[in-house]
Copies of this chain bind each other. A is one copy, B any other.
Amino acid sequence: MKTKDDIRETLINVAGNIFSKFGFKKTTMDEIADAARKGKSSIYYYFSSKEEIFGAVVEKEATILEKKILNDINTTDDPKEKIRKYILARMNGIKNLGNFYNALKNDYLSSFESIEKLRIKYDKEEHNLIKKILQEGIEKNIFYIKNTDKTAKAIVTTMKGLEIPLIVKDNKYKIEDRLDDFLDILYYGICKH
């Protein structure tokens, strides 16, 4: 017998499939209900609104991405390599999460408060993770960084810049091709020493 949580999860998966295809606005509660073989109003027994079920979908995807990233960076001990793996995993994840993010943007120009809160939460986690890698690099005597907080901020912002071609759906853009040029600057800078 299926528990309440099981059905909730099924609904999240079903809804996720439809949302990723049609975006938030063009997905109707009826469609989700039909695909889940339920009555439309039954969904309201599990979620209080369309926005809430969408938020649950996004949160699930983000959690999967986070796990994948953490897993990837733990395949190495070298902080330099960790940063590399981090950026690669993140960029590849963005391609998928970007679907949801974009779907939102195109539907409503302003996103929801609940999603915005999620974004801020993951931004903070991202910042802390980078910071941790940097500190690890300092301890291992590999990095020399005056202010890990500011440096992490700079790296995160730069990474967001790298992401744009992905979100704008520039298909010919290959991260791997450019990543090493970036890392080279990030690690060693351009000044003589």
* Contacts from A to B (Cβ < 8 Å): 80, 134, 137, 141-147, 150-151, 153-155, 157-162, 164, 178, 181-182, 184-193
Nearest CB on B from A72, distance (A): 20
In the complex, the count of this chain's copies comes to 2
Interchain CB contact under 8 A, B191 and A188: yes
Given contacts A189-B185, A192-B141, contact A160 B164 (CB under 8 A): yes
Closest 6 A-B residue pairs measured CB to CB? Answer: A161-B161, A189-B189, A188-B189, A144-B192, A187-B191, A150-B181
Bound-state CA distance A183–B45 (Å) is: 54
Interchain CB contact under 8 A, A144 and B182: no
Nearest CB on B from A105, distance (A): 11
Interchain CB contact under 8 A, A190 and B145: yes
Chain A interface secondary structure, helix, strand, loop or mixed? helix
Given contacts A153-B178, A154-B178, contact A189 B187 (CB under 8 A): yes
Nearest CB on B from A147, distance (A): 8
Q: Which residues of B contact A142 (CB under 8 A)?
A: 191-192
Name A140's closest neighbour in chain B (CB-CB). B192
Interchain CB contact under 8 A, A181 and B153: yes
Interchain CB contact under 8 A, A185 and B154: yes
Interchain CB contact under 8 A, A146 and B184: yes
Nearest CB on B from A3, distance (A): 43
Interchain CB contact under 8 A, B144 and A191: yes
Name A83's closest neighbour in chain B (CB-CB). B190
Nearest CB on B from A102, distance (A): 12
Q: Which residues of B contact A157 (CB under 8 A)?
A: 161-162, 178, 182
